[in-house]
Amino acid sequence: AQSVSQHNHHVILSEAASLELGCNYSYGGTVNLFWYVQYPGQHLQLLLKYFSGDPLVKGIKGFEAEFIKSKFSFNLRKPSVQWSDTAEYFCAVNARNYGQNFVFGPGTRLSVLP
């Protein structure tokens, strides 16, 4: 079965610091990859997604993620975080041709200090 791990449970950064959140998945086949963000008290919103092509994907709000197939990773990055980026970030994987649904990682809580 697929599984998704996220390296950090809670990350605390100061404004303008660079961010990298790790995501690894376990599935040997072709996958679709996603990052969702959940702001306090709100629902999950799609940040970015990778289906195929350029492994460096750009999303909303200055976020990007890089798919490294050999490492089964899909890390999320942002060069300079803002206080408004404080939220919980979820990595999700959907295996193509597997008939299984999205598997979400446990989430990483990001706190950005002003």
Partner 1 sequence: DSGVTQTPKHLITATGQRVTLRCSPRSGDLSVYWYQQSLDQGLQFLIQYYNGEERAKGNILERFSAQQFPDLHSELNLSSLELGDSALYFCASSVGTSGTQETQYFGPGTRLLVL
Interface contacts to partner 1, rule CB under 8 A: 32, 34, 36, 42-46, 49, 51, 90, 92, 94-104, 106-107
CA-wise closest residue to 107 among 33, 5, 31:
5
Which residue number, 99 or 114, has a Cβ lying nearer to partner 1? 99
| Cα four-point dihedral sign 8, 47, 91, 22 | negative
Phi, psi at 69, each rounded to 5°: -60, -40
Which residue number, 51 or 83, has a Cβ lying nearer to partner 1? 51
Tokens 């303008």 locate to 16
Phi, psi at 60, each rounded to 5°: -80, 160
Which residue number, 72 or 102, has a Cβ lying nearer to partner 1? 102
Q: Please, what is the minimum distance in Å from the beta carbon of residue 71 to partner 1?
A: 22
Q: Please, what is the minimum distance in Å from the beta carbon of residue 90 to partner 1?
A: 6
Which residue number, 50 or 85, has a Cβ lying nearer to partner 1? 50
Pull the structure tokens for residue 32: 């679709």
Q: Please, what is the minimum distance in Å from the beta carbon of residue 17 to partner 1?
A: 26
